[in-house]
Chain A
Amino acid sequence: MNNTSVSENKQLLIPRNFIKVLILSIVLLGICILASLAFGSRTVGWNELMNGLFHPDVQSHGANVVRQRIARTVFSIMCGAALGVSGALMQSVTRNPIADPSILGVNTGAALFVVCGISFLNIGTASQYILLALAGAIITAIFVFGIGSMGSGGATPLKLVLAGAATSAALSSLVMAIMIPRSNVMDQFRFWQVGSVGSGNWDSISTFIPFLIVGILIALFTAPALNALALGDEVATGLGVRTGTLRLVAAFGGVLLCGVTTALAGPIGFIGLLATHIMRLVIGPDLRYIIPMSALSGAIILTISDVFGRILGSPGELEVGVVTAFIGAPILILITMKAKMRAL
């Protein structure tokens, strides 16, 4: 008797729109995947698309183009999902609506380490990039959170953003100082500096997978406790959550995801901000649903941005980092304009 009522309650707790939103998102993602496979400097027709996907023996030019685009599409979906989940985690750990890797200066930290690696250690392989970028991202994140949460009121958006901007400015001066005497590094770096999923191949995907799985597992396991954290530290402690450990684990998951993405694809900003905020608006604040949905919406947004970049930049491409900055920054501005001043 008691059991059934609990399970009924659980049924009721599923956000009202959840099923609709889930189906809609999956359909949208499907469309994005097809678009990503079809559009580019050479647009591929439906027949060739199907040939490329399902008839490995057909050897037309269009079919081969589609096969080339598969890796890129898979890679962009993974990056988008990672950034979406990372955004959701960071925002709930800091209880701060605008925590996004790009705003917190994590990207610049990763960039500094990568540049040091290129110029002093002669690194070149994907796994070396990842390790360095990850180390840079983690150190920078700890530093920025440390400064931003000093004083009364904890980590308010304004404090965090300023700490992030200041740290970014400091680190990018260092990046410049290291790069300027070495023109070959500068050339390598300016392509990394604009985030792009065009470099995605099966190698980077297979390097990515373990990190992605670990990060998403961390996110899913911490979600219920993070829900409690949203009520405030005292309440969460009262509910039996170890807030310190929780923050540490969840933040590690968030930084892991965005650090790896930054390492492989370069700094892509604002996906975490966008994905999580859209989902929060549509399905409410329950993180157990927001986290998987942020992964989905992050994947959609990044893939569609990449397609836009390829269409707008045709015959070349507009790097996806540029596109997401243009979609994401207005959202940041909107959040700022809507927010009550005390909350900042």
Chain B
Amino acid sequence: MMNESVNFIMVGRKKRLRRFILVTSFLAVIAFALCCAMLMLGNTIYPVSDVIGVLLGQEVKGASFAVGIIRFPRMVAGVFAGFAFGVAGTVFQTMLRNPLANPNVIGITAGSSAAAVFCIIVLQASNTIISIASVVGGLATVLIIFLLSKGTSFSIGRLILIGIGIQAMLNAVISYLLLIGQQHDIPTAMRWLSGSLNGAKMESLYPLIITVLIFAPVIFALGKRLDLLELGEQAATSLGIHTDKTRLALIISSVLIIALATATTGPIAFVAFLSGPIAKRLVGVGFSSLIPAGLIGIILVLASDLIGQFAFVARYPVGVITGILGAPYLIYLLIRMNRKGDL
């Protein structure tokens, strides 16, 4: 009898593991295909052999510049930013136990954006300073929002409302800065309102790449505990987790990677918000959906960028496409949550 039920659980676990591996590898294949498409497609379409040649460092006429200098950094920026948005968004959604709690809604990206726009327009600062400022801005905003919403008892509703209030102030700052800005600074700064991979340069990508490579593994290592945190404060404590320390480590790592991603590409709307729920639905329960969420982030960013580049007469930055794709889902989610009375 005992044996049978253990068997039953084992079978279920194996089934879920198989599904997890299948889904993850499937997503990885799609992401890889999109990476290849990013490198090959453009005004001139280069064959695979040329692209591989360029990546191996050979000199291919024409392709060396188009693929090596323009398309490759663009692809890398999309991959790392998408990954960062996907993973960090999922961390926030899981930790706060609410799919609506994503960096856009609670004002982190607005903080990063405001700091970055300030550096661009007022200080005319270099890229490094802009990155640092946007990280500091993002962290400071999170800190302020969490402190204000702590009050007598923490609640996600309060957090969201306060986040929206702070966001309103930061957006006022951004609008004002855009207004006083010089005409030639405006396009650079506009990127901070919608998110774009345009003009990504390899040397300005290193901070993002290094931060993601360091902190994403930290988040993955804490993934198991994150899932336990979702069970609730008391359950997690009784399972032997330092809830405060875990939460702090997760928040700092997520905010760091998301702020740097924002610093590099601007706030690409809704990627952080969409990746988690899609990943959860695909993977099912039982396994941490962080890695699939990161892959979905990559897929969303790269696919939207390809759509923005080639689907219309005008070229749209990636943030506009993800915004148009993501907003209806957000509204659908709200309607569903309202119907169920989850809010």
Pair from one complex: yes
Which residues of chain A have a CB within 8 Å of any CB of chain B?
98, 102-103, 147-148, 150-153, 156-159, 161-163, 165-167, 169-170, 172-174, 176-177, 180-181, 186, 190-191, 193-194, 269-270, 316, 318-319, 321-322, 325-326, 328-330, 332-333, 336-337, 339, 341, 344
6 A-B pairs with the lowest CB-CB distances in the bound complex, closest first? A173-B323, A170-B327, A325-B172, A181-B314, A151-B338, A150-B338
Say whether B248 faces chain A, with CB atoms less than 8 Å apart. no
Contacts of B105 in A (CB 8 A): 162, 165
Contacts of A148 in B (CB 8 A): 338
- Does B168 contact A344, Cβ atoms closer than 8 Å? no
- Does A330 contact B175, Cβ atoms closer than 8 Å? no
- Does A318 contact B193, Cβ atoms closer than 8 Å? no
Say whether B16 faces chain A, with CB atoms less than 8 Å apart. no
Q: Is the interface of B mostly helix, strand, loop or mixed?
A: helix
- Does B168 contact A102, Cβ atoms closer than 8 Å? yes
Among A170, A326, A341, the residue within 8 A (CB) of B323 is A170
Say whether B123 faces chain A, with CB atoms less than 8 Å apart. no
User: What's the least CB distance linking B50 to chain A, in Å?
Assistant: 31
Contacts of A102 in B (CB 8 A): 168
Say whether B100 faces chain A, with CB atoms less than 8 Å apart. yes
In Å, the complex CA distance between A148 and B113 comes to: 28
Q: Closest residue to B153 on the A side, CB-wise?
A: A341
Among B158, B180, B313, B335, the residue within 8 A (CB) of A344 is B158
- Does A269 contact B323, Cβ atoms closer than 8 Å? no
- Does A147 contact B100, Cβ atoms closer than 8 Å? no
Interface-side segment among B75-83, B124-132, B159-167:
B159-167
- Does A333 contact B179, Cβ atoms closer than 8 Å? no
Contacts of A330 in B (CB 8 A): 165, 169
- Does A173 contact B269, Cβ atoms closer than 8 Å? yes
- Does A147 contact B161, Cβ atoms closer than 8 Å? no
Among A147, A176, A341, the residue within 8 A (CB) of B334 is A147
- Does B155 contact A169, Cβ atoms closer than 8 Å? no
Q: Closest residue to B333 on the A side, CB-wise?
A: A166
Contacts of B172 in A (CB 8 A): 194, 269, 321-322, 325-326, 329
- Does B157 contact A190, Cβ atoms closer than 8 Å? no
- Does B320 contact A176, Cβ atoms closer than 8 Å? yes
Once A161-B164, A337-B151 are accepted as A-B contacts, the answer to whether A150 and B331 lie under 8 Å apart by CB is no
Among A156, A186, A190, A344, the residue within 8 A (CB) of B179 is A190
Q: Count of B residues near A, CB < 8 Å?
A: 52
- Does B323 contact A176, Cβ atoms closer than 8 Å? yes
Q: Closest residue to A98 on the B side, CB-wise?
A: B161
Say whether B341 faces chain A, with CB atoms less than 8 Å apart. yes
- Does A194 contact B176, Cβ atoms closer than 8 Å? yes
Once A173-B320, A194-B179, A341-B155 are accepted as A-B contacts, the answer to whether A158 and B171 lie under 8 Å apart by CB is no
Contacts of B323 in A (CB 8 A): 169-170, 172-173, 176-177
Contacts of A191 in B (CB 8 A): 179
Say whether B343 faces chain A, with CB atoms less than 8 Å apart. yes
Contacts of A157 in B (CB 8 A): 161
Once A158-B157, A161-B160, A269-B168 are accepted as A-B contacts, the answer to whether A177 and B148 lie under 8 Å apart by CB is no
Q: Besides the contacts A151-B340, A170-B330, what 5 more A-B pairs have beta carbons closer than 8 Å? A: A159-B343, A176-B319, A177-B323, A180-B317, A333-B165
Contacts of B338 in A (CB 8 A): 147-148, 150-151, 159
Q: Can you list 23 pairs linking A and B with CB atoms under 8 Å apart?
A: A147-B331, A158-B161, A162-B343, A165-B105, A165-B164, A166-B327, A173-B194, A174-B324, A176-B320, A177-B316, A180-B314, A181-B313, A186-B190, A194-B175, A194-B176, A194-B179, A270-B168, A330-B165, A332-B164, A336-B161, A337-B148, A337-B162, A341-B157
In Å, the complex CA distance between A186 and B168 comes to: 21
Once A180-B314, A269-B168, A341-B153 are accepted as A-B contacts, the answer to whether A332 and B176 lie under 8 Å apart by CB is no
Say whether B339 faces chain A, with CB atoms less than 8 Å apart. yes
Contacts of B160 in A (CB 8 A): 158, 161-162
Within 8 A of A (CB), among B296-330: 313-314, 316-317, 319-320, 323-324, 327-328, 330
Say whether B104 faces chain A, with CB atoms less than 8 Å apart. yes
Say whether B178 faces chain A, with CB atoms less than 8 Å apart. yes
Contacts of B340 in A (CB 8 A): 151
In Å, the complex CA distance between A191 and B176 comes to: 9
Say whether B173 faces chain A, with CB atoms less than 8 Å apart. yes
Within 8 A of A (CB), among B101-156: 104-105, 148-149, 151, 153, 155
User: What's the least CB distance linking A129 to chain B, in Å?
Assistant: 19
In Å, the complex CA distance between A69 and B165 comes to: 32
Among A103, A153, A193, A326, the residue within 8 A (CB) of B169 is A326
Once A177-B316, A319-B176 are accepted as A-B contacts, the answer to whether A332 and B165 lie under 8 Å apart by CB is yes
Contacts of B168 in A (CB 8 A): 102-103, 269-270, 325, 328-329, 332
Contacts of B166 in A (CB 8 A): 329, 333
Contacts of A161 in B (CB 8 A): 160-161, 164
In Å, the complex CA distance between A156 and B341 comes to: 11
- Does B316 contact A152, Cβ atoms closer than 8 Å? no
User: What's the least CB distance linking A119 to chain B, in Å?
Assistant: 12
Among A103, A170, A322, the residue within 8 A (CB) of B328 is A170
